[in-house]
Structure 1
Amino acid sequence: MDSDFSARVEALKASTEALQHTLSNLTDEQARGQSLLPGWTRGHVITHVARNADALLNLVTWARTGEETPMYASREQRDADIEDGAGRPAAALVADVDETHQQLMAALRELPESAHTAPIRYGGADATGDGAVIPMLRRSEVEIHHVDLDLEYTLAHLPEDFVERLLDQVSAEFSSRDDAPALVLVRTDDEHRWTVGSGGQEVSGSAPSLLGYLLGRTDGVGLHTDGTLPTMGVWR
């Protein structure tokens, strides 16, 4: 395993351990409670996190074998699996996350270096990448949905390296869309900038606040700009 890939896998391990710590005392009542995602209980979010690990195992297989193995059979099946699992007791939800995490980590650690550059497709928009992106894909799901659980883990708790990497990624993703807002995101502590779309309206704030806004998790609380902030849809 090359050193960069190994570092991404270890970062994923740390992010998942933080989630597991939060879930270690989850009650059935909390599991049935509303998450920060409209229409989803915490049980929905936790089930999605577990099924996403299964989906990324498919991408590991694709990268290792070259045989096309999509994340999900269909969007409808993905949604049905989440709905079916959302109402389980807290202990079953937590065990599901733990077991699928261990399976994915084992597969990532066994992935040969030749698979790190193997082409794959992922996500609803069929984004293209290679096997090396899988740990960050998973870390994004773990960290952002950890926040979505609304169990004291907030945007401010996100690891600094993760926030910067995801700002790079999401601003680039938005810029590839025809409907991208024209923004320049400015981190206040060092004036680092991320251009979204064609650039234009400057929005300044802390990196976690900028990320939360870009992901559609906040309405721009803690940010400063001249004029009205565009409304951002929920990212993933």
Structure 2
Amino acid sequence: MPKTIIVIPCYNEAKRLDTNAFITFANLHPDIHFLFSNDGSTDDTPEIIVKLCALNAEAFSLYSLQLNRGKAEAVREGLLHALNETPEYIGFWDADLATPLETILEFILLMESQLHLQMVVGSRVKLLGRTVERNGVRHYLGRIGATLASIVLDLGVYDTQCGAKLFRVSPETTAVFATPFLARWVFDIEIFARLIIRRRERGEPPAETVIYELPLKVWKDVRGSKVKSQDFLTAFWELLRIRRHYFTR
């Protein structure tokens, strides 16, 4: 039984999957398992993952959605599938490895040293001594979105959208992923929203007491992203839906 299962959502990632990086990391850290959640890819992504699994079935597995349903469902269904293995921690990581795999170890260390934490999230903060390389236009559009998300959530979070997140397996986090998300693009914000509302309804300490935002040492924008400028408009409308659904009842 792996201690940690990381879901890697994949849609047509054949040209960007760094299999050598996964193999090297897995050989060094056998207590971490990677579950590739294939979101109806139409390229060679499934075949590449199958070969990876054949090399090390203890470290890699494949879960496939028959149709392309978006990253939100690829992540959610992958995490639910991971829960069947009863790990201590589950999480998801972008397939392009913009956040290096070694960062997973920092996330786990935080969970182990701060037992009250339910969620550790990566934060792409460009600080001296850190290597955070982001596309300029996407960075500034992202900052606008992050500010709006922080206002909607009423939470002092800097970066909701970084594709590196780890969760402690508990009834609380399991409930967060129990039902499909409203959003396809900004489902990360919905994860925060569900955690906030659940704790509020149960009279528990606020969500910010169980979430740790970790500034990343390294994050590099990888070419080939499927996010287009017009998707930021879609994300804005999804954010409004999240606000109406979770915070105006």
Q: TM-score, normalised by structure 1?
A: 0.30
Query: Per residue, is there more strand in 1 or in 2?
Result: 2
Query: Per residue, is there more helix in 1 or in 2?
Result: 1
Q: TM-score, normalised by structure 2?
A: 0.29
Q: Higher Cα Rg: structure 1 or 2? A: 1
